[in-house]
A and B are shown apart, each in its own frame.
Chain A
Amino acid sequence: MAKLTPVAAAIVFGCLVWPGAGHAATDDLAALRAELEALKSDYTSRVQALEARIKQLESAVATATTAPPAYPQPAPLAAPAKSSNAAAFNPAISMILTGNYASLSQDPATYRVAGFIPPPSGEGPGRRSFNLDESELTVASNVDPYFFGNVTAAIQGDNSIDIEEAYFKTIALNNGFTIKGGRFFSATGYLNEIHSHNWDFVDQPLVYQVFLGGQLAQDGAQIRWLAPTDYFIELGAEAGSGRSFPGTQRNSNSLASDALFAHLGGDVGDSTSWRLGVSWLDIRSTDRSYDDVDQFGTAVTNAFTGTSRTWIADGTLKWAPHGDPTHHQFKLQGEYMHRTESGQLAFDVTGRNLAGDYNSSQSGWYLQAVYEFVQRWRAGLRYDSMQSGTPGIGLVQAGLLPFAAFPSLASASPERTTIMVDWSLSEFSRLRAQYAWDDARATERDRQLLLQYIFAMGAHGAHKF
């Protein structure tokens, strides 16, 4: 009721005032009408003037567009002044989408290359059925006149993020020197520096899986020197923390991962190019643990502390008619690695905790060929072979344990044969089918069918050799 009172009062007041207001309006009406007429005529003349101007401009535009353009037209020398734009220095961004479908005859959870201490990750064909593989985001740009920066983060299908590479690289050093620092794929070997979307097969060769846990990423620094010769001669050295397998993160100020490499390359005629490389890796690890079973089948955790020294020899040859890979290209590539590990092997670290000397001398190699037989279509064949030898285990030699207590290390010669066919609709998309007869396990053969997609978005990728 209290709300209604002012409204009611207003209505009553309005009724009282209205008759008076009506009289006043009748008096002024003639004057208002005259004013309105004056305004109307004023606007009519203004609108006519504007219409005339529009017509004039329209005809001017028409003559301008119908005039034949003079050729050659000079390039505009000065661009119109642009307002400031914080995005003008945005780095190059690219995103790679990968995924696969896997049909595996053996349980991938039990995958292990027989005869070798397994890496913590990077072994095996991955999970069964449809899998989202890594989505790789790369952001790269020159930092200033002296440095280039690059970050490559892999967003994994399990929702974790790996920083694959995050490095700076000098661009202002002369005399063939380049220095890189941060996290980067080691330049040892040929395949190690190549990101997964540029591999010719879905997975890495066995020797990379077993000796380097897939790919060796250094947290450290690298120096490269390129010789001033017509042949490609490159020498380099790396020093790192050794956090990546076969090293481990150590609580030490020292550098635990040293590498040396030399590359030689050139052309034969106008159709063939080649590169040869030799690398040496010296990596220390502390308590690098792995799961195994003992001679009774009981689960145990063992750990290696010591040094891994690896020699790598690599060779790559590419052939294309007149060097043009549009229709046909052949690529032959192979690498050999020999690794010796020496140090201490601890047995059942959470239980019996016995330790003794450990020495191994192991090797592996792969050879692969990929041929583009018709534009956009390629077929490939790869053969993998590993020789584990029998390691010297102090605990066994001292008679404390039987060799059967280390079933993973029993001498083995794993091998694998892989065939591949892929179809690239453009430079930016690729669909691949791969089939492997994998005899890496100690027991049965694993038959692996993998179907893969790779899509590249954003900045144009580099055509690395």
Chain B
Amino acid sequence: MLKYVRSLLALATVSLCVGAPPAQAALKVLATTPDWAALVTELGGDKVNVYTATSAFQDVHRVDAKPSLVARARTADLVVATGADLEIGWMPVLLQDSGNTKIQPGSPGYFEAAPLVHLLEVPSAVDRSMGDIHPLGNPHVTLDPHNIATIAKALAARLVLIDSANAAYYAARGDDFQKRWQQATLGWESKAAPLKGVGVVVIHRDQAYLCNWLGLKELASIEPKPGVPPSAGYLAELVTKLAATPPKMILRNAYNDARAAEWLAERIHAPVVLLPYSVGGTAEAKDLFGLFDDTINRLLAALK
């Protein structure tokens, strides 16, 4: 047995020497969603090398701890995750199998966004009969630019902490981002003013922050309970219920299935609005600015 261990150790040593990164290598970041990847890129510029674990077309909750992700966790200097149990099915496995102490919870290399902002829909009691609810609150925090500003501030501070050699660079980029973001937010808010009070139907409860920010009124959700697909009976009930208070539009994320939304749209005569939800969800949502630009443009277009 000892000889196996010895050869394994020898192999490990060789690989470490061969694979050792050059001193000036960029900070390796594993971001769980394209939004966090975009934010790290805004703040870190060319000093960071970002790998995105999921795309805008994936339900981040339903991801496997697949081999490629374990490999990325092994070499990461920083993990940027949503938290609030969104990645609970796979992030703990990645962290445990990574053999990388830099990214363990509690270390500077592990960053969670959701705990930094005010979470909506924190349940007072949890039970699995209520569907796939998150005990810590709704984790889909990105679609409120005020949340992004708060998270960006903390993330810039984290980059400074981890990679102090480039502290001034991150601080400058962080300030610049905050300025541009604040200006853009004001622009979005004035442009989106007509959306205030507009009734909408959502699919999953992942538009809660967008609705809260813009004052959209969530009249119903196509999922009867979080994570539970609708039955034909429930959809029929929804049609009757919405006849009294007809919504202006049905919001659908890039990763959602279109069928239930299209079915409902036909019966209640409201358009389905495809929203990017995440960076990369539409061709226009190339970065965080594009994500909000495109979201508001699409909502306004549907209002006309």
Contacts and interface: CB of A to CB of B under 8 A. Distances in A.
Contacts of A223: 5, 8
Contact of A273 (B67, B104, B128, B147): B67
Interface in A197-247: 223-237, 239
A457 B127 CA distance: 10
Contact of B65 (A176, A263, A327, A465): A465
A72 B209 CA distance: 11
B183 interface: no
A228 to B, nearest CB: 5
B98 A464 contact: no
A14 interface: no
Contacts of B132: 426-427
B255 interface: yes
B203 to A, nearest CB: 12
Interface in B183-223: 212
A275 interface: yes
Contacts of B4: 237, 258, 260
Interface string A371-409: 000011000000000000000000000000000000000
Interface stretch (A118-126, A156-164, A316-324, A347-355): A316-324
Contacts of A463: 62-65, 89-90, 93
A173 interface: yes
Contacts of B147: 72
Contacts of B100: 174, 176
Nearest to A140: B92
B71 A229 contact: yes
A232 B96 contact: no
For chain A, give the interface size range.
35 or more
Nearest to B16: A175
A41 interface: no
Interface in A449-465: 457, 460-465
Interface in A117-175: 148, 169, 171-175
A173 B101 contact: yes
B1 interface: yes
B179 interface: no
Contact of B15 (A74, A224, A228, A460): A228
B105 to A, nearest CB: 9
B99 A265 contact: no
B279 to A, nearest CB: 15
Interface string B98-122: 1111101000000000011111000
Contacts of A5: none
Contacts of A173: 99, 101
B272 interface: no
B228 interface: yes
A73 B137 CA distance: 15
Given A176-B74, A232-B68, A226 B92 contact: no
Contacts of A177: 12, 99
A296 interface: no
B58 A226 contact: no
A108 interface: no
Given A237-B1, A273-B68, A226 B257 contact: no
B19 A428 contact: no
B227 interface: yes
A12 B6 CA distance: 105
A37 to B, nearest CB: 51
Contact of B5 (A237, A266, A426): A237
A359 interface: no
A89 interface: no
A323 B101 contact: no
A463 B98 CA distance: 15
Interface in A7-54: none
B122 to A, nearest CB: 11
A194 to B, nearest CB: 13
A72 B146 contact: yes
Interface in B123-150: 128, 131-132, 144, 146-147
A267 interface: yes
A235 to B, nearest CB: 6
A318 B101 contact: no
B182 to A, nearest CB: 14
A464 B255 CA distance: 22
A178 B257 CA distance: 40
A78 interface: no
A442 B93 CA distance: 43
A326 interface: yes
A324 B74 contact: no
B67 A171 contact: no
Given A230-B71, A233-B71, A225 B65 contact: no
B64 A273 contact: yes
B70 interface: yes
B100 to A, nearest CB: 7
13 contacts: A73-B118, A171-B96, A174-B99, A174-B100, A176-B12, A223-B5, A230-B72, A236-B8, A265-B67, A266-B71, A324-B58, A426-B132, A463-B64
Q: Which 9 pairs show the lowest CB-CB distances between chains A and B?
A: A265-B67, A232-B67, A322-B57, A176-B99, A463-B89, A232-B71, A239-B1, A324-B58, A273-B66
Interface of A: 71-75, 148, 169, 171-178, 223-237, 239, 255, 258, 260, 263-267, 270, 273-275, 318, 321-327, 375-376, 426-428, 457, 460-465
